[in-house]
Amino acid sequence: MSGEATVILAVFLPLAGALGIAAAGRWPNLREAVTLATAGALTINVWSLLPAVFAGERPGAVLFQTVADLPIAFTVEPLGMLFAALASLLWIVNSIYSIGYMRGNNESHQTRFYICFAVAISAAMGIAFAGNLLTLFLFYEVLTLSTYPLVAHKGDEATVKQARVYLGVLLGTSIGLLLPAMLWIYFATGTLDFVQGGVLAGHVEGPALGLLLGLCVFGVGKAAVMPVHRWLPAAMVAPTPVSALLHAVAVVKAGVFTITKLIIYIFGVDYLFAEPSAGWLVYVAAFTVLAASVVALRQTNLKRLLAYSTIGQLSYVVLAAAVLKPLAEVGAAIHIVAHAFGKITLFFAAGAIYTAAKKTEIGELRGIGRRMPWTMAAFTIGALSMVGVPPTAGFVSKWFILAGAFQSDNLVVIFTIILSTALNAAYFLPIVFRAWFREEDVVPKKDHGEAPWPMVLALTTTAALTLAFFIGNQPVIDLELQLVKPGP
């Protein structure tokens, strides 16, 4: 199969899977088999592009032309390749987990759930492989719209209210801020293409460049940079597999991926570094990291704690990208992977605890490690990765971000990483200690063990990936080093 056909198939295969899921909706086993088969086929298809991208090739395709000769087009470059490979792989694991969760909790509207999930993955592929800002914006909006029914899945009044916050913030920021930024870029440069080294040099400069950067950063609401972060805690009303999609597979990763891609391919790292008006981004990202970590310390609900942890961890990526040094840019890309593996493990564990023990509050987790050792072992690994302790994936990404900060003598970033690491330890390690080393306050009325086996299989798999990435990270590093080298 040609590179062009492979790229187009990667974007539209999940949509074909969604149609198959809809057709098989009356037969749960067949419906879920179609989901798994589609996820597996997508992963094989996406990963088949890796050798070409490693070799410096940039497979692509043009679907059609729009107004002003702006095409809907795809180009596979290293950052998008990483995002697509990650999202496709985790779709398989999340689908396995979803089977156990949705059945174990007797959730309603399961067919709709799997359909919307597939559409969201298709949108994520479109974002990953977007060849220009117009294509990215189109699929960015599709991702927002397709995940709204997932967030509103329970359907009660409180859930729908929070889902409207989710939809309102994400649509409001993209249409109110990112769309004007996109028009500004086009009329200033005559292009929306993603180009190595950026397209803005000589076209937008001085304070105007800082303003344009602000429109882009806050317009990408999915990155949850404060103060456009409210949608993320609001979305915690969704079922746990959806939370995993939001936090690890597609949505927030699409946000930080978009900001990183804009900095590298629209603004240009060297051009931004030379412009003082862009320096504010480091301070906003640092504030988000620390403020979200402080708020997480005060949470008593496990999923809300994980939500605020995500807000802080996302801004590690933004912070790294804002350092504007090669090692930090690589660190930003690596942290997308590290956070995905660690955070999906934590959400999987939280969902398993809810399914097996119906516990949602941190104070209820005393001694639960003895009843659910597999789940809590995975949670422990995920937590250590968020802190950045070896031998976990989080250590690798923090190493590169800190290396980039030292490369630029950026004391703000160095201080932020050190302090936030201490805060991460302060809210994660007591949970681990409580689960393993404290006695249960109340013996449950009904004795319970682990959650259904598909859930345990999924969370142990992602925990293993979190550990494996500590050793097997070199291919990712080699791939992302192409971001800071001249194109072919």
Q: How far apart are CA 185 and CA 190, in angstroms?
A: 8
* Element at 231 (helix H, strand E): helix 231-234
Residue 30 lies in a domain: yes
| Best mean pLDDT range from 179-193, 233-247, 265-279, 349-363 | 179-193
- The residue out of 203, 222, 250 marking a domain boundary is 203
- Are residues 324 and 467 both part of a single domain? yes
Burial of 338 (0-12, 13-18, 19+ CB in 10 A): buried
> What are the tens digits of pLDDT across the range 258-284?
999 999 999 998 888 888 888 899 999
Same domain flag for 377 and 480 = yes
What pLDDT does 486 receive?
52
What is the percent of the chain where pLDDT is above 90? 64
Are 156 and 301 in a shared domain? Answer: no
Q: Are 98 and 92 in contact (CB under 8 A)?
A: no
Residue whose C-alpha is closest to residue 110's, from 33, 36, 25, 38: 25
The pLDDT tens digits of the residues spanning 285-306 come to 999 999 999 999 999 999 899 9
pLDDT at 285: 93
The band of 488, judged by pLDDT with boundaries at 50, 70 and 90, is: very low
Kindly report the backbone phi and psi dihedral angles of residue 361, in degrees, each rounded to the nearest multiple of 5, phi listed first. -95, 145
Let me know whether 43 and 143 are in one domain.
Answer: yes
Domain count, the chain: 2
Asked whether residue 217 is domain-assigned, the answer is no
CB proximity list for 78: less than 8 A, separation 6 or greater = 53, 333, 479, 480, 482, 483
Q: How far is the C-alpha of 310 from the C-alpha of 302, rounded, in Å? A: 12
Residues 375, 487: one domain?
yes
Residues in the chain, how many? 488
Domain final position from 203, 232, 266: 203
Share of the chain above pLDDT 70, in %: 97
User: Is the pLDDT assigned to residue 238 strictly greater than 80?
Assistant: no
Measured CA to CA, the distance from residue 348 to residue 379 in angstroms comes to 8
Same domain, 283 and 194: no
Let me know: does 342 contact 314? Beta carbons within 8 Å.
no
Which of 115-124, 157-166, 244-253, 473-482 has the weakest average pLDDT? 244-253
Residues 190 and 92 in one domain: yes
Give the tokens for residue 363. 């104070």
Tell me if 486 sits within 8 A of 195, measured CB to CB: no
Residues 41, 121, 485, 326, CA torsion sign: negative
In contact, 210 and 277? CB cutoff 8 Å: yes
Distance CA 277, CA 159 (A): 41
Contact 343, 312 (CB under 8 A): no
Confidence of residue 171 (pLDDT cuts 50, 70, 90): very high
Residue 240 pLDDT exceeds 80: no
- SS3 state at 169: helix
Does residue 270 fall inside a structural domain? no
Answer yes or no: do 286 and 160 share one domain: no
298 in any annotated domain:
yes
| pLDDT surpasses 70 at 443 | no
Last residue of a domain, one of 187, 203, 219: 203
Report the pLDDT averaged over residues 23-51: 95
Q: How far is CA 391 from CA 425, 446, 458, in A?
A: 15, 37, 20
Cis before 444 (ω within 30):
no
189 and 337 belong to one structural domain: no
Give the whole-angstrom CA distance, residue 155 versus residue 319. 37
DSSP string, 76-99: --HHHHHHHHHHHHHHHHHHHHHH
At 270, the amino acid letter reads D
Residue 334 main-chain phi, psi, to 5 deg: -65, -35
Buried b (16+ CB within 10 A) or exposed e, 306-324: bbbbbbbbbbbbbbbbbbb
Q: Residue 409 is part of which domain span? A: 279-488
Q: Within this chain, do residues 199 and 284 fall inside the same structural domain, yes or no?
A: no
324 versus 100: which is more confidently predicted?
100
Residue 92 scores a pLDDT above 70: yes
Residue 82 confidence (pLDDT): 94
Pairing of strands 71-75, 60-65: antiparallel
pLDDT at 76 over 80: yes
Average pLDDT over residues 405-420: 90
Q: Is residue 265 part of a domain?
A: no
Mean pLDDT of 209-230: 93
Are the CB atoms for 88 and 46 separated by under 8 Å? yes
Positive or negative: CA dihedral 84, 33, 251, 455: negative
Distance CA 199, CA 182 (A): 12
Residue 23: which residues within 8 A CB-CB, separation 6 or more?
A: none
The whole-number pLDDT of residue 487 equals 46
Q: Let me know whether 184 and 289 are in one domain.
A: no
Q: Is residue 242 included in any domain, yes or no?
A: no
Domain assignment of residue 216, yes or no: no
Kindly state the tokens that stand for 479.
């791939």
pLDDT of res. 383: 96
> For residue 227, is it within any domain?
no
Instruction: Give the whole-angstrom CA distance, residue 455 versus residue 98.
Output: 7
- Residue 190 sits in the same domain as residue 316: no
Alpha carbon distances (Å) from 248 to 95, 140, 256, 265, 393: 13, 16, 11, 24, 14
Please name the residues in contact with 113: beta carbons below 8 A apart, sequence gap of 6 or more: 98, 102, 107, 150, 153, 239, 241, 242
Identify the band that residue 134 occupies on the pLDDT scale cut at 50, 70 and 90: very high
Contact (Cβ atoms closer than 8 angstroms) between residue 182 and residue 70? no
Q: What is the 3-state secondary structure (H, E, C) of 25-56?
A: CCCHHHHHHHHHHHHHHHHHHHHCCHHHHHCC
